[in-house]
Chains A and B, each alone.
Chain A
Amino acid sequence: MTAVTRSDVLRRFRRDRLALVGLIVLLGFAAMALLAPWLVDDSALSAVASLDNPTWAKPSGEFLLGTDHLGRSVAAQFIAGSRVSLFVGLMATIFTIAIGSAVGIVAGFAGKWLDATLMRFTDWFLVIPFLPLAIVLAAVLGRGIWNVIFVISITSWPSTARLVRAQVLTVRERLYVDRARALGATQLHVIRRHVLPNVAPLILASATLAVPISILTETTLSFLGLGDPTQASWGKTLEEAFQAGAISRSAWWYYLPAGVGIVTVVLAFTLFGRALEEILDPRLRDR
């Protein structure tokens, strides 16, 4: 990827409208999550501090997205919740991709017994049922953000590992790898200069898929009450809205923002990832 300079990437992004939209949306959410402590006062999330507020208030000038059954501002919960959702999504993705890529590359490149061993190990993780594990871990370790991240990572790295290994195996057989060896290249050189750059787009693509999956999983876990009870997240908002009967009360302002937020972030990541793959592959670029 040496020849793809930063200005190149930016210029190509500018030409791809959808990717640009995706990128802007993501940057917006990231800014919101980072600035959340300054945008939202902790007291806005506290039921005690919100005792004076009206409950089930519709969106208005005072409460942009209305209030919930305890009189807390939904807008404040939305902003604060983005922080946890994005954090969990990103962290879980980083672990998933890091473990998956490392195992995949080592297995694909080493071959023989190491490959066989690592792949059996991967298969073993691949068949672990996700929800029971999450429930057991929550029971054993207690509920918390890091446990959520741990559960997501431990169950989703094997598919990345399989994918990366398959790609490494095909790249390894390419004639240009033979040529590099004939030029006197070491294994390390072949991995760094030929295998990684050709596997990277795939890793990137699976990362952009893993982020939304992780965010959705976090939502699921929080919705089931397995998330961190002390932190606001979009999943937890949805759970509380559901528990408080927001749906039967038609209090759409309570559950809609979190739902729309999740869908928007997931979509933005997908658009962004698709464009990134095209941009990094010189053969797809000219189209």
Chain B
Amino acid sequence: MTSPHIPPMTSPKGSAEAASQAALSETLVTVRGAHVRFGAASSPVRAVDGVDLDLGRGEVLALVGESGCGKTTLIRSMIGLEPLASGSIIVDGHEVTRRARDLRTLRRTAQMIFQDPTGALNPRHTIYDAVAEGLRIHKVRGDEMVLVTSALASAGLRPAARYLGRYPHELSGGQRQRVLIAAAMALDPVVLLADEPVASLDASIRGEILALMRSFVDERGVSIIAVTHDLGLAWNIADRVAVMYLGRIVEIGPTEQVLADPQHPYTRALLSVVPETRGLDQQILQGETPDPSKIPPGCRFHPRCPLVASGEAARLGIEARCRGEDPVLTERAAAHTAACHA
């Protein structure tokens, strides 16, 4: 498994960014050096550990990785639900801060969809109240009933009138997720942060929800960051894929590029265990999901890396660097970067 080419040692990070910028018409979300830490200062959990990321207007980015890789924390920090320890995030020209007024603006520009629609709906509120809540908070002008009804209808709940007075427990999981999508889209956000939007739903109805989200991009110009562990979802809706491992983006690029020609051994392993990919030998990484309170030195992936384990890294003469030097993202193809010494 030799890499197509060995990239230069110095990081051409700037050029990679320039290329990705050029490909996008306008940058909507800019993340620079983002760190999020939890727990005691002596042994912090480094959930997000230095992330740089750009999202263009009307772009769908899939943020992929195992649980504990920090992908959910990263999008939560984009809407101010997790404070940054350092670094900066700018959404549609506004910096994410902890000031109440800024947060209010931010939380209309950006909206979030949660993994568990059952938990995200207050069981005591009707569907009408759930959708109207955001409209009331932001004092959106217009006839509330009309806004709620059209939001529900545009999320595929038709006839909307039938749902207004019902309670979450009277709906199916798919319908609940549509209610949450309606509530988010009712505020006309420019970016939708979706945390595993279909993971808790039956496989058969996932496609419809994803198609709905994609339609917002095509028809209303919304941008989406979708957190997922499912590479098939990325193939289905994402323009670009970012792979996260232990708080860091280890590979990012256009979906076709990353999934057809993965550059990072972790991406290759993830891809190989998707039951529906052919032509890749299964590389089941051993051991448990990594622990973000104990990030290994050197390349954070090296203890589980198949290249290191198989001796491939030693043959390439990079094993010492894998163990001792933290790799940075280097360009592998146009707008496609990966953080690997190989």
Q: Is there a contact between chains A and B in the complex with CB atoms less than 8 Å apart?
A: yes
A186 to B100, CA, bound (A): 8
A197 to B183, CA, bound (A): 20
Contact yes or no, B129 A184, CB < 8 A: no
User: Which chain B residue lies CB-closest to A198?
Assistant: B124
Contact yes or no, A183 B167, CB < 8 A: no
Given contacts A3-B129, A193-B133, A282-B167, contact A183 B107 (CB under 8 A): yes
A3 to B124, CA, bound (A): 9
A64 to B76, CA, bound (A): 72
Contact yes or no, A184 B123, CB < 8 A: no
Contact yes or no, B104 A194, CB < 8 A: no
Answer yes or no: B210 CB below 8 A from chain A CBs: no
Q: Quick one: which of A181-220 are within 8 Å of B by CB?
A: 181-186, 189, 193-194, 197-198
Answer yes or no: B137 CB below 8 A from chain A CBs: yes
The count of residues in chain B whose C-beta lies closer than 8 Å to any C-beta of chain A is: 32
Answer yes or no: A281 CB below 8 A from chain B CBs: yes
Distance of A189 from chain B, by nearest CB (Å)? 6
Answer yes or no: A178 CB below 8 A from chain B CBs: yes
Answer yes or no: B120 CB below 8 A from chain A CBs: yes
Answer yes or no: B266 CB below 8 A from chain A CBs: no
Contact yes or no, B103 A184, CB < 8 A: yes
> Which of B81, B108, B134, B169 meets A282, CB within 8 Å?
B169
Distance of B68 from chain A, by nearest CB (Å)? 19
Answer yes or no: A174 CB below 8 A from chain B CBs: yes
Q: Which of B111-119, B216-224, B285-293 contacts A (4 or more CB under 8 A)?
A: B111-119
Given contacts A2-B129, A182-B79, contact A283 B169 (CB under 8 A): yes
A197 to B125, CA, bound (A): 9
Taking residues whose C-beta sits less than 8 angstroms from the other chain, chain A's interface range is: 20 to 34
Contact yes or no, B116 A175, CB < 8 A: yes
Contact yes or no, A281 B124, CB < 8 A: yes
Contact yes or no, B120 A179, CB < 8 A: yes
Contact yes or no, A180 B112, CB < 8 A: no
A-B contact count (CB 8 A): 72
Answer yes or no: A1 CB below 8 A from chain B CBs: yes
Answer yes or no: B282 CB below 8 A from chain A CBs: no
Q: Quick one: which of B119-174 are within 8 Å of A by CB?
A: 119-126, 128-129, 133-134, 137-138, 165, 167, 169
Which residues on B sit within 8 Å (CB–CB) of A252?
none
Which residues on A sit within 8 Å (CB–CB) of B134?
183-184
Answer yes or no: A121 CB below 8 A from chain B CBs: no
A182 to B184, CA, bound (A): 9
Answer yes or no: B180 CB below 8 A from chain A CBs: yes
Answer yes or no: B233 CB below 8 A from chain A CBs: no
Which residues on A sit within 8 Å (CB–CB) of B120?
175-176, 178-179
Contact yes or no, A174 B124, CB < 8 A: no
Given contacts A3-B165, A175-B119, A282-B123, contact A181 B81 (CB under 8 A): yes
Contact yes or no, B119 A184, CB < 8 A: no
Contact yes or no, B81 A184, CB < 8 A: no
Distance of A174 from chain B, by nearest CB (Å)? 6
Which residues on B sit within 8 Å (CB–CB) of A193?
122, 125, 133
Answer yes or no: B187 CB below 8 A from chain A CBs: yes
Which residues on A sit within 8 Å (CB–CB) of B107?
181-184
Contact yes or no, A183 B119, CB < 8 A: no
Q: Quick one: which of B23-52 are within 8 Å of A by CB?
A: none
A235 to B71, CA, bound (A): 65
Given contacts A2-B129, A282-B124, contact A179 B138 (CB under 8 A): no
Which residues on A sit within 8 Å (CB–CB) of B167?
282-283
The residue among A3, A179, A197 with the most chain B CB atoms within 10 A of its own CB is A179
Which residues on B sit within 8 Å (CB–CB) of A197?
122, 124
Interface residues of A, Cβ cutoff 8 Å to B: 1-3, 174-176, 178-186, 189, 193-194, 197-198, 281-283
Kindly list 7 other residue pairs between chains A and B, CB separation below 8 angstroms, not including A176-B120, A193-B125, A281-B124: A3-B126, A178-B81, A182-B107, A184-B103, A184-B106, A184-B108, A283-B123
17 residue pairs from A and B, CB less than 8 Å apart: A3-B128, A3-B165, A179-B120, A181-B81, A181-B107, A183-B107, A184-B104, A184-B107, A184-B137, A185-B137, A186-B137, A193-B133, A197-B122, A197-B124, A281-B123, A282-B124, A283-B167
